[in-house]
Amino acid sequence: MPLSAPPAGSGQPYLLSASLDNARHLSSLLRAVHFQDHATCFATANGLRVTVEDAKCIQANAFIQAEIFQEFAVQEESVTFRINLSVLLDCLNIFGTGSLPGTTTALRMCYRGYGHPLMLFLEEGGVVTVCKINTQEPDELLDFDFCSTKVVNKIILQSEGLREAFAELDMTSEVLQITMSPDKPYFRLSTFGNAGSAHLDYPRDSDLMEAFHCNQTQTNR
Amino acid sequence: MRFGAKILDLACLNHFSRVINTIAKLAKTCTLRLTDSKLYFILSDKVANGGVSMWCELCQGNFFDEFQMEGVAAEHNEIYLELVPENLSRALKTAQSAKAVKIKLTNKHCPCLRVAVELPSLTSSSRIVTHDIPVGVIPRRLWNDFREPSVPDFDVSIYLPVLKTMKSVVERMKNLSNSIVIEANLNGEMNLKIETDLVSVTTHFKDLGNPPWASEDGDQSSAEGRDPESMAEARIDIRKLQQLLAGQQVNPTKALCNIVSKRIVHFILLHEDVSLQYFIPALA
């Protein structure tokens, strides 16, 4: 079955159709937001946004621009559906998660619209896997209203440095305190645990700092 | 009844350890049958195993530098032991860089396989680690329970795809469903399918090739005269298939399966000096 042609006798055209040479580009992004089983997918001509929420207090968004795909077509202004993210990831990784050099999994994704399953066609080394994942009604998503004019402080860090810091956080502390300031300590992560308080400081001229825009000293827990 | 054997060659020892590791992954308890030329690891199909059965055959000459056995009686020069292969596997783990391994059947307080591993030592005196693995001696009247299973009258016989790919796919499918359908035809095509309320996934393998089976008595087997496109299928417990694939540490020389539609799938994995047959029955 050629990966590019939709199955014969389809009738209804696809509302969303996309092709990706290397499915791992998509699966690694989705894995980063996989802290709940369900996700809402929202596709427009700009790309695909996958949102995962927990108890109405955390929201993670993975956005994959249309340019990342070899082909990305959305027939209506936007297409939305809810899907089981664990199942989607198992399907995207059907040929394994180990990334051997020279072997990539090609992906084609198709969605016919409300009530239809999401179809995935994955191919690696001549072996083709076809997945049909049932979709659900999209949920109301939280709108955090991050209006850009109201943003006081913004920092972009290289994630590796943050990852190391998070790994070392004192878990006996009830809160994580985040301080951002145009003056010292610039960016500080603080914990207050059984052994005492710990502070992790990132200077503004640190190698890890990609962007540092702080106007006001602000502390949040 | 006596049994004593020695492995001196490190490559043979590692090879033997790998075989035992594979067996340990497939069966909690199994039967070890010793003859003067071969070792067999046998699991007969009981309800407790989920109807799965296994027959693994090794030529002792390919592994052991010394091998002596004396069966229960002259006309029945064989020994049948019940053992937990995981125990043997653990004992052999200490032998990764051993100078020699001796295996002996002993009966000090109860029947045991004594595995003595001679480890390299900086001094002239040797270091020996001994493991006593309890075994059960199976009396001759029960030997009939452990006969070699015959190749079933299959509908389709087909070579398996690259085990690594098959293993990845089955492992993922195991997260999604408890049962899997294996179907194949005489055109070298095999599909692995799962279907649940949430999702259905089908993996298509092509150009696998169908092994030629010479018909022993010249009769047409049920595979002859069969439409090459027509699929034979069986729905089996996915965990059993995953265990079989996960246990393969080295790529077999030949790997194939015989499918009896809706009844049983018979896997044959051949290495240079080990042959493994594994039967997984179809789910009701």
Among the residue ranges A139-143, B86-90, B217-221, the one predicted with the least confidence is: B217-221
Q: Do A131 and B199 touch (CB under 8 A)?
A: yes
Q: Which residues of B are less than 8 Å from A84 in CB distance?
A: 198-199
Does B131 lie in the same domain as B7? yes
Q: Which residues of B are less than 8 Å from A3 in CB distance?
A: none
**What single-letter amino acid sits at B111?**
P
Q: Is the C-alpha dihedral spanning B117, B118, B122, B126 positive or negative?
A: positive
B220: containing domain: 156-263
Does A93 lie in the same domain as A70? yes
Q: CA-to-CA distance for B35 and B58, rounded, in angstroms?
A: 11
Does B69 lie in the same domain as B178? no
Give kind and range of the element (H or E) at residue B183. Answer: strand B179-184
> What does the block give as tokens for A47?
């790309």
Does B105 lie in the same domain as B59? yes
Domains of chain B: total = 2
Q: Does residue B149 have a pLDDT over 60?
A: yes
> A110 with A69: CB under 8 angstroms?
no
Q: Which residue of A has its CA nearest to B190?
A: A127
pLDDT, residue A4, reads: 47
Does A164 lie in the same domain as A91? no
Domains of chain A: total = 2
Q: Which residue of A has its CA nearest to B198?
A: A134
Does B119 lie in the same domain as B170? no
Does A77 lie in the same domain as A153? no
Final residue belonging to a domain, choices B110, B145, B180: B145
Does A190 lie in the same domain as A132? no
- pLDDT digits 0-9 by tens, B241-280: 999 999 887 789 999 999 999 999 999 999 888 999 999 9
Final residue belonging to a domain, choices A101, A136, A171: A136
- pLDDT digits 0-9 by tens, B174-184: 999 999 999 99
Does A169 lie in the same domain as A109? no
Q: How confident is the model at residue B223 (pLDDT cuts 50, 70, 90)?
A: low
Q: How confident is the model at residue B224 (pLDDT cuts 50, 70, 90)?
A: low
Does B95 lie in the same domain as B115? yes
Among B183, B184, B185, B182, CA closest to B228: B185
Final residue belonging to a domain, choices B124, B145, B166: B145
Does B6 lie in the same domain as B141? yes
Q: CA-to-CA distance for A164 and B127, rounded, in angstroms?
A: 44
Q: Which residue of A has its CA nearest to B165?
A: A95
Per the domain annotation, does B258 fall within a domain? yes
pLDDT, residue A12, reads: 67
pLDDT, residue A1, reads: 41
Per the domain annotation, does A191 fall within a domain? yes
Looking at the complex, report in whole angstroms how far the Cα of residue A150 sits from the nearest Cα belonging to chain B. Answer: 42
Does B162 lie in the same domain as B137? no
Per the domain annotation, does A175 fall within a domain? yes
Using CA atoms of B231, B269, B57, B103 in order, give the dihedral in degrees to the nearest 10.
-140
Does A131 lie in the same domain as A59? yes
Contacts 24+ apart (CB under 8 A), B105-109: B105/B1, B105/B2, B105/B3, B105/B4, B105/B79, B105/B81, B105/B135, B106/B132, B108/B132
A26: containing domain: 16-136
pLDDT, residue B4, reads: 95
Q: CA-to-CA distance for A39 and A51, rounded, in angstroms?
A: 5
Q: Does residue B220 have a pLDDT over 90?
A: no
Q: Which residue of A has its CA nearest to B175?
A: A90
> What does the block give as tokens for A154?
């913004």
| pLDDT mean over B70-86 | 90
Does B70 lie in the same domain as B26? yes
pLDDT, residue B94, reads: 86
Per the domain annotation, does B276 fall within a domain? no
Per the domain annotation, does A3 fall within a domain? no
Per the domain annotation, does A9 fall within a domain? no
Does A59 lie in the same domain as A124? yes
Which phi and psi angles does A29 have, rounded to 5°? -70, -40
Per the domain annotation, does B272 fall within a domain? no
Q: Which residues of A are less than 8 Å from B191 in CB distance?
A: none
Q: Give every CB contact of residue B217 below 8 A, 6+ residues apart in sequence.
A: none
pLDDT, residue A149, reads: 75
Q: Give every CB contact of residue A153 below 8 A, 6+ residues apart in sequence.
A: A180, A181, A213, A214, A215, A216, A218
Where residue A117 sits, what CATH number does that domain have? 3.70.10.10
Per the domain annotation, does B271 fall within a domain? no
> A171 with A193: CB under 8 angstroms?
yes
Final residue belonging to a domain, choices B116, B145, B174: B145
Does B134 lie in the same domain as B229? no
Per the domain annotation, does B206 fall within a domain? yes
Q: Give every CB contact of residue B121 below 8 A, 6+ residues apart in sequence.
A: B127
> What is the pLDDT tens value at each position of chain A, 221 positions in all?
444 444 544 566 889 999 999 998 899 999 999 999 999 999 999 999 999 998 878 899 999 999 999 999 999 889 999 999 999 999 999 998 766 667 889 999 999 999 999 999 999 989 999 999 999 998 888 777 777 778 888 999 998 888 888 998 888 999 999 999 998 888 999 999 998 999 999 988 888 889 999 999 999 99
Does A170 lie in the same domain as A114? no
Among A206, A39, A199, CA closest to A118: A39
Number of DSSP helices (H) and strands (E) in chain B, helices first: 4, 18
Q: How many residue pairs from chains A and B have C-beta atoms closer than 8 A?
A: 59
Final residue belonging to a domain, choices A78, A102, A136: A136
Per the domain annotation, does B54 fall within a domain? yes
> What does the block give as tokens for A73?
């077509």
Q: CA-to-CA distance for B18 and B269, rounded, in angstroms?
A: 14
Q: Does residue B132 have a pLDDT over 60?
A: yes
Does B116 lie in the same domain as B77? yes
Does A173 lie in the same domain as A117? no
Q: Does B180 touch chain A (CB under 8 A)?
A: no
- pLDDT digits 0-9 by tens, B28-61: 999 999 998 999 999 987 777 778 999 999 999 9
Does A176 lie in the same domain as A93? no
Per the domain annotation, does A96 fall within a domain? yes
Final residue belonging to a domain, choices A136, A164, A181: A136
Does A20 lie in the same domain as A118? yes
> B88 with B115: CB under 8 angstroms?
yes
Per the domain annotation, does B35 fall within a domain? yes
Q: Do A94 and B200 touch (CB under 8 A)?
A: no
Does B133 lie in the same domain as B19? yes
pLDDT, residue A111, reads: 95
Does B209 lie in the same domain as B129? no
| pLDDT mean over B141-164 | 91
pLDDT, residue B78, reads: 93
Q: Does B202 touch chain A (CB under 8 A)?
A: yes
Per the domain annotation, does B151 fall within a domain? no
Does A98 lie in the same domain as A40? yes
Where residue B177 sits, what CATH number does that domain have? 3.70.10.10
Instruction: Considering only CA atoms, give the Rg of chain B.
Output: 21
pLDDT, residue A147, reads: 73
Per the domain annotation, does A1 fall within a domain? no
Calculate the average pLDDT of chain B.
90
